Amino acid sequence: MGVEVNLEGKIAFVTGASSGLGDRFARVLAMAGARVVLASRRVDRLKELRAEIESEGGDAHCVELDVTDLDSIKAAVAHAETEAGPIDILVNNSGVSTTQRLVDVTPEDYNFVFRTNTEGSFFVAQEVAKRMIVRAKANPERQSRIINVASVAGLRVLPQIGIYCASKAAVVQFTKSMALEWARFGINTNAICPGYIRTEINEGHFETEAGQKLISLLPRRRIGEPADLDGLILLLAADESRFINGAVITADDGHSVF
């Protein structure tokens, strides 16, 4: 007898679906049967992904979203629900990084990282949660999921990305506040903390000498691929994870154990 995650009938809203982890999260949720709404600024990339998901029998929709713009967040969430239906699962994944020493961080760098990673993620979760709460009041049995994509950099300090580390530490902390405040509305809010995974955010760096050195210091001397998070995203999206709330789960191939 096998057990499989079945997300049929669920609607998943994935931010930052135009590349990297978000692209993969959307694909895997669609493969499990969810109707996925792909959101980010590069709508052309979202449309390509939608076509690929549909060609494999999945159900996908696209909405334009800039998480640094509150009006855009409200419009995108409203549009998603009109197009696809009430959101059951939010994958709050959009994020950016910059690389420099702290003494070189400009106000522009600081705002770029915090407005996307911290403020943007917070207000996306808030906008989606408001709607989940209204529905929970009408149907207390309803289950909802918010999965905030933080980072191992939110748990420990990594060199040259101090502002990014701080922005993700805030995501870890507000994940726990959300879990506490929204638990009674059937919303499970958890954070995932990936280690190094090759995507557009970092692929240039891993080709450099410093990047290669960094890889050589990891326990298995390798970085991950987006599919390495498939099991974790499915677990946290599924109804079967109803007792997991406020968890901060590291998926880093052992990077943060030392």
Q: Are 145 and 236 contacting, i.e. CB atoms less than 8 angstroms apart?
A: yes
Q: Which of 88, 196, 229, 238 binds ligand NAP (CB under 6 A)?
A: 196
Closest by Cα among 142, 126, 137 to 175: 126
Among 60, 94, 127, 145, binds ligand NAP (CB under 6 A): 94
Cα(29)–Cα(10) distance, integer angstroms: 9
Q: Which one, of 58, 37, 35, 55, lies nearest residue 46 by Cα?
A: 37
The catalytic residue positions are 164
Integer Cα distance of 197 and 251 in angstroms: 10
User: DSSP letter at 117?
Assistant: I
Looking at the Cβ atoms of 116 and 190, the one nearer to ligand NAP is 116
Is 80 a residue that touches ligand NAP (CB under 6 A)?
no
Using CB under 6 A as the binding criterion, the count of chain residues that bind ligand NAP stands at 28
Residue from the set 83, 181, 200, 240 that interacts with ligand NAP by CB under 6 A? 200
Candidate residues 29, 95, 179, 250; the one interacting with ligand NAP per rule CB under 6 A = 95
What tokens were used for 3? Answer: 């057990």
Give the residue, chosen from 10, 16, 29, 233, that forms a contact with ligand NAP under the rule CB under 6 A: 16
Residue 91 to residue 83: CA distance in whole angstroms = 18
104-131 burial, b at 16+ Cβ within 10 Å, e below that, comes to eeeeebeebbbebbbbbbbbbbebbbeb
Nearer to ligand NAP, 133 or 249 (CB): 249
Q: Identify the residue among 32, 89, 93, 122 touching ligand NAP (CB under 6 A).
A: 93
Asked if residue 42 binds ligand NAP (CB under 6 A), the reply is yes
197 lines the binding site for ligand NAP (CB under 6 A): yes
Judged by CB under 6 A, does residue 129 bind ligand NAP?
A: no
Cα–Cα distance, 217 to 213 (Å, whole number)? 7
Our finding on whether 149 is near ligand NAP (CB under 6 A) is yes
Q: Residues 207-246: x/- map of binding to ligand NAP (CB under 6 A)?
A: ----------------------------------------
37: which strand partners? 13, 61
Residues in contact with ligand NAP by the rule CB under 6 A:
15-16, 18-22, 40-42, 65-68, 93-96, 116, 149, 151, 194, 196-197, 199-202
